[in-house]
Structure 1
Amino acid sequence: MPDLSYTAIPDPVAFEERLKSVPLAPGVYIWKDIQGKILYVGKSKSLRDRMRSYFGAPRGLSGKTRRLVAQIADFEIIVTSSELEALLLEMNLIKEHRPKFNVLLKDDKSYPFIKVTLHEPWPRILVTRKTPDDGSRYFGPYSNAGAVRRTLKELNKLFAFRPSFDCKDEKFNRHRRLGKPCMYYDIKRCLGPCVPGLVSQEEYRSAIEAVCRFLEGKTDQIVRDLRRKMEAAAQELNFERAAYLRDQIRDIEKISERQQVLRTVATDQDVIAFARENGSAVVQVFYIRGGKLIGSEPFALQNTEDEDDQRLLTSFITQFYDSAAEVPPNLLLAEHIEEPMIIEQWLSQKGGHRVEIQVPRRGEKKNLVNLAAQNARQKLEEIRLQWLNSEQRAVAGLTEIRDLLGLEGLPARIECFDISNTQGTNAVGAMVVFEHGEPKKSRYRKFRIRTVEGANDVASIREVLLRRFRRAAEALGEDVAAGVQDPRVNPNGVVTNG
């Protein structure tokens, strides 16, 4: 019989009856708290068995699972016709709700992609954070938006497509009306598609396709095509064009030389390994295309405490490839994952070709996995040092405040208040919160001024402070659970402007 004594379930008897009625079928289960907020989304080939396993002896559960179970008050199930359908549903629900107990890709909603607008007459190449099915081609996700923009600038130097940073449709159409290209044409950073006659649509699209092949790692094919065009231009005595293509070939070959060539890895594949320490985890992905290591990206995970390696890696793969623009035919992993056959089936459907998952134990493939793990450890150490530096700066600032104000200890919580109005109307107050020297954005609040007429900042501040501390004093337990200010965390300092 399940032990429900340490949960937040309001009616354990009714809850137990509901658990008994859960079918022994594949599907998705959703744990919720007393407010109805989703705590965790999971899947299983046997819903009843999996859900009842949460309510065994507490000492047999991990710390993270005990904290989850202590907050469970309700659940919802969705029965599916297959384990694959359950996997897809689980991924969609996690992406939509981002439950606090699920392993999550950190900031996964904001990872950048490279977008090639192939459906447009004169395609553009942009950085985007959304991937709608609009006829464009996408590459990514990438972990660093700045690096993606720098890559686009380098690609623009090589292939002279419309500069994404300075050629919006309005400017493009203006130069088309003028019949004169902008300066990027003069400095050979754009082929000039805005002016009829400067470049044919076929030639411009050929440059765009070369960019796509470059991003796929097919530089050898690009060089062959460019060399053929260079020889044709020379035969036509178009030496300026031939010289331009010669320089383009040279620059591409320089970049290609920097890419590591892997002797025994002929197929396209991603190499995935991870490092973890004290609840933090980083996954490193190597992109191998055409036998060359063409890129590497680190991705941080959150909510990884007490999760085993299989669950951690499975969560990453399902979330990463759910949004990835491309799935290669092979994945090399550092560890085995849960339900690999189901994951392979899903990846094969998504990629449109057979996908095989391997966990190499020796040889060059194993060396690649080890190298990816080494890079993950290095990135994890960088994150740790960044956190330490940030913490040290915060402590230094709090120490200075303590000394200036003669406080007994460091101020753990500081609240800052200010008032804004539009010529004496529509007055609004704002509260910004710092905890342990760091901004706590989830605690920020806005106050619509109710009792003050005109531009009177002092009276408005008084109203805001009264409302803030009155609400804290009146807060009940359910208010605290819902995120209302807890009277036990009153500020050590209040800063007002006005």
Structure 2
Amino acid sequence: MSQVAPLRDVAAGLPLVPGCYLFRDGQGKLLYVGKAKNLRRRVLSYFRPLESQPAKTRALLRDARRLEVILTGSEVEALILENSLVKRHRPRFNVLLRDDKNFPYLKLTMGEPFPRVVLVRRPRQDGNLYFGPYTPASVARRSLKMIARFFKVATCYESFDGSRRRPCLLYQMKQCLAPCVGYVQEAPYGEAVRHVRLFLEGRDKELAGELERRMAAASKALEYENAARYRDLLRAVAALNRRQAVAAVGLEDQDYFAMHREGNSASLAIFEMRAGLVQSRREFFFEGAGGEDEAFMEQALSRYYSVAPLVPGRVFVSTPPEGAGVLEEWLAGRRGQRVRIKCPRRGVHRQFMDTVLENARLAWESRFAADHNLGVAVHEALRETLGLAETPSRIEALDISHLAGRETVASVVVWEDGRPRRSEYRRLNIRSARPGDDYAAMEEAVARRYGRLVREKRRLPDLVLVDGGAGQLAAAQAALAKLGVGNLPVIALAKQREEIYLPGVKEPVELSTHDPVRHLVTRIRDEAHRFALAAHRRRRRRRTLTTELMQVRGIGRRRSRDLLQTFGSVEGVRRASQGRLMAVVGPVVAAAVRAHFSQERS
């Protein structure tokens, strides 16, 4: 990629400050917008060796011709600017939250004497209140009918200027107070509107309390017809509570984000909880979703809340996002109050997150089911291409990764029935191989992985795929032969030209770029590579964070780990109060931590 060199030169000269960076194609069209705390360091990371980059980054660099930056005063300002640019230009390589369709909202009009509730497809910043989106759309229509039946607030577009002389059929059915013909005064109608708002905001407990008080007052005043109406409203609210209650996760407003990814396709499920009840559920789908899960979640959160009408006090995620502290600060600015992003590990929030994760998995399967059907034919074609006796239903891929020859790690990914089994992925820290010796590292990884399966008499894969060429293939064969399973099918897939090396065949097999077998084995190999790189980045990040905290007097490795587990990041430790720090490391070290970061700011 000759066009990459000039971009790398530009990146090397960038300042070490926060800002946004923009990749453009030859015609000046915006391809990608990103934010950075340190522009030079972040942008230079795009120009590491291409084989270590996700497929999405490789595609971006293939099309990019220009690199621009916009400096900002802080990382939060960069995040705000990034969101603005993405919404305005919708760059091709950014994570964009696209629905299959526009799900409906309910609009409560606030700029007229007699507000009404109507169904709309797009919310606008016009001073009205919007509730939703509702999925499926039938929930919105059913809610609209309930509002008409029990609250009798107008649900039509009829003019209220006094020109109408007779009320419509809804009034005859006792499903409207008929403000269009002046049958109701503003005060009692306003009371009904207030009840509707409580109902739509999910504040059913508050609504029920008010209805009980009004029912008791009406009964005491011998207004039995009004008392009966409030009784019916109470029953309707109670019935709605029973239908919607999912888990006792608290009464605060909170959202749940769960991601399910297989290969380069992903689904994102979002559940909005209001007053302990599920108010809405949304699903988004992504193809070409390369990179780390943490970066994906960070972009998803920032895109979603840049347009969401309400930011809750707590956001629960299935994967911790990158830059959680910065996101919390930005969300707090939008909300006007503190916001916390959490990845639940236990308790009712973990249980509910499992439900949201299952929804994300089912959504993924329903959206990408056709890929699975196609996968059966592709696996059969793989059997024919490799000359295997049986169609491989379980494939395992191994990849070796290291940092300049140090900290060598092997990753093992499992592919079964056309789908990755992420719960069975494994990482192995290479112990005996000499640093930089990829062949010895592969032999050790294969020996340890399949030695354990043999000892525990567990199922062996139908095919082993190793990343590399003839040398890695020979190393894997040698390890399998020593274990007594030399007949286990094994192949190697080399980068660059994506050639397949087969045992006993001198020349590699080179498939056409459109061959589905090539796409399958490349996809599995890339998943192993992504998994290995993600492990390295996490280890490097943990080591960097731990080292920074260990500069504080009185903090060693154990206390550093305790602080990071409690506060999530160095930024979280920096913002923690004296009292919260004392609860973890005691008063003396807490004071040292505060002094260290105060000195850093000055």
Q: Tell me if TM exceeds 0.5.
A: yes
Q: Secondary structure at the match of 1:104?
A: coil
Partner of 1:355: 339
The equivalent position to 1:294 in structure 2, one of 278, 296, 299, is 278
Q: Does 1:191 align with 2:177?
A: yes
TM-superposed CA distance for 1:382, in Å, is 2.0
TM-superposed CA distance for 1:156, in Å, is 2.6
Partner of 1:374: 358
Q: Does 1:54 align with 2:46?
A: yes
The equivalent position to 1:32 in structure 2, one of 9, 24, 35, is 24
Partner of 1:229: 214
Q: Secondary structure at the match of 2:125?
A: coil
Structure-to-structure mapping, 1:84-163, within 5 angstroms: 84-107=76-99, 110-163=102-155
After superposition, the Cα gap between the structure-2 partners of 1:38 and 1:112, relative to the gap in structure 1 and judged at 3 Å, is farther
TM-superposed CA distance for 1:139, in Å, is 2.3
Report how many aligned residue pairs link the two structures: 375
TM-superposed CA distance for 1:74, in Å, is 0.8
After superposition, the Cα gap between the structure-2 partners of 1:151 and 1:311, relative to the gap in structure 1 and judged at 3 Å, is farther
C-alpha distance in structure 1 between counterparts of 2:88 and 2:240, whole Å: 39
The equivalent position to 1:337 in structure 2, one of 302, 321, 325, is 321
Partner of 2:243: 258
Partner of 2:71: 79
Percent identity over the alignment is 37
C-alpha distance in structure 1 between counterparts of 2:319 and 2:108, whole Å: 34
Letter in 2 for 1:61: Q
Q: Secondary structure at the match of 2:143?
A: helix
Q: Secondary structure at the match of 2:322?
A: coil
Q: Secondary structure at the match of 1:255?
A: helix
Letter in 2 for 1:199: V
TM-superposed CA distance for 1:284, in Å, is 1.9
After superposition, the Cα gap between the structure-2 partners of 1:337 and 1:17, relative to the gap in structure 1 and judged at 3 Å, is closer
Q: Secondary structure at the match of 1:327?
A: coil
Do 1:103 and 1:303's aligned partners in 2 also have CA atoms closer than 8 Å? no
Partner of 1:18: 10
Partner of 2:166: 180
Gaps of 5+ in 1: 1-5, 392-498
After superposition, the Cα gap between the structure-2 partners of 1:7 and 1:72, relative to the gap in structure 1 and judged at 3 Å, is farther
Partner of 1:307: 291
* Larger deviation, residues 366-375 vs 258-267: 258-267
TM-superposed CA distance for 1:266, in Å, is 4.2
Structure-to-structure mapping, 1:433-472, within 5 angstroms: none
C-alpha distance in structure 2 between counterparts of 1:67 and 1:22, whole Å: 23
After superposition, the Cα gap between the structure-2 partners of 1:296 and 1:376, relative to the gap in structure 1 and judged at 3 Å, is farther
Q: Does 1:320 align with 2:304?
A: yes
C-alpha distance in structure 2 between counterparts of 1:194 and 1:310, whole Å: 53
Q: Secondary structure at the match of 1:302?
A: strand
C-alpha distance in structure 1 between counterparts of 2:278 and 2:53, whole Å: 42
After superposition, the Cα gap between the structure-2 partners of 1:7 and 1:224, relative to the gap in structure 1 and judged at 3 Å, is farther
TM-superposed CA distance for 1:314, in Å, is 1.2
Q: Does 1:209 align with 2:194?
A: yes
C-alpha distance in structure 2 between counterparts of 1:207 and 1:30, whole Å: 51
C-alpha distance in structure 2 between counterparts of 1:250 and 1:120, whole Å: 30
Q: Does 1:168 align with 2:157?
A: yes
* Larger deviation, residues 37-46 vs 270-279: 270-279
Do 1:282 and 1:380's aligned partners in 2 also have CA atoms closer than 8 Å? yes
* Larger deviation, residues 72-81 vs 298-307: 298-307
After superposition, the Cα gap between the structure-2 partners of 1:67 and 1:183, relative to the gap in structure 1 and judged at 3 Å, is same
Q: Secondary structure at the match of 2:40?
A: helix
C-alpha distance in structure 1 between counterparts of 2:245 and 2:136, whole Å: 21
TM-superposed CA distance for 1:7, in Å, is 5.0
**Residues 50-85 of structure 1: CA deviation (Å, up to 9, x unaligned):** 222212211111111111111111122111111001
**Residues 104-157 of structure 1: CA deviation (Å, up to 9, x unaligned):** 211499454332212221112233344443221222344544433333233332
Q: Secondary structure at the match of 2:181?
A: coil
C-alpha distance in structure 1 between counterparts of 2:201 and 2:76, whole Å: 29
C-alpha distance in structure 1 between counterparts of 2:88 and 2:327, whole Å: 20
Do 1:140 and 1:325's aligned partners in 2 also have CA atoms closer than 8 Å? no
After superposition, the Cα gap between the structure-2 partners of 1:214 and 1:54, relative to the gap in structure 1 and judged at 3 Å, is same
C-alpha distance in structure 1 between counterparts of 2:301 and 2:100, whole Å: 13
* Greater relative CO (CA pairs within 8 A, separation 6+): 1
Gaps of 5+ in 2: 375-602
C-alpha distance in structure 1 between counterparts of 2:349 and 2:336, whole Å: 24
Letter in 2 for 1:194: C
Do 2:109 and 2:117's aligned partners in 1 also have CA atoms closer than 8 Å? yes
After superposition, the Cα gap between the structure-2 partners of 1:107 and 1:370, relative to the gap in structure 1 and judged at 3 Å, is closer
C-alpha distance in structure 1 between counterparts of 2:370 and 2:193, whole Å: 39
C-alpha distance in structure 1 between counterparts of 2:144 and 2:239, whole Å: 17
C-alpha distance in structure 1 between counterparts of 2:268 and 2:146, whole Å: 27
Partner of 1:273: 258
TM-superposed CA distance for 1:365, in Å, is 1.5
C-alpha distance in structure 1 between counterparts of 2:40 and 2:104, whole Å: 39
* Larger deviation, residues 19-28 vs 232-241: 232-241
C-alpha distance in structure 2 between counterparts of 1:17 and 1:307, whole Å: 24
C-alpha distance in structure 2 between counterparts of 1:369 and 1:81, whole Å: 36
**Residues 375-415 of structure 1: CA deviation (Å, up to 9, x unaligned):** 111222222347889x9xxxxxxxxxxxxxxxxxxxxxxxx
C-alpha distance in structure 2 between counterparts of 1:338 and 1:314, whole Å: 5
TM-superposed CA distance for 1:320, in Å, is 1.3
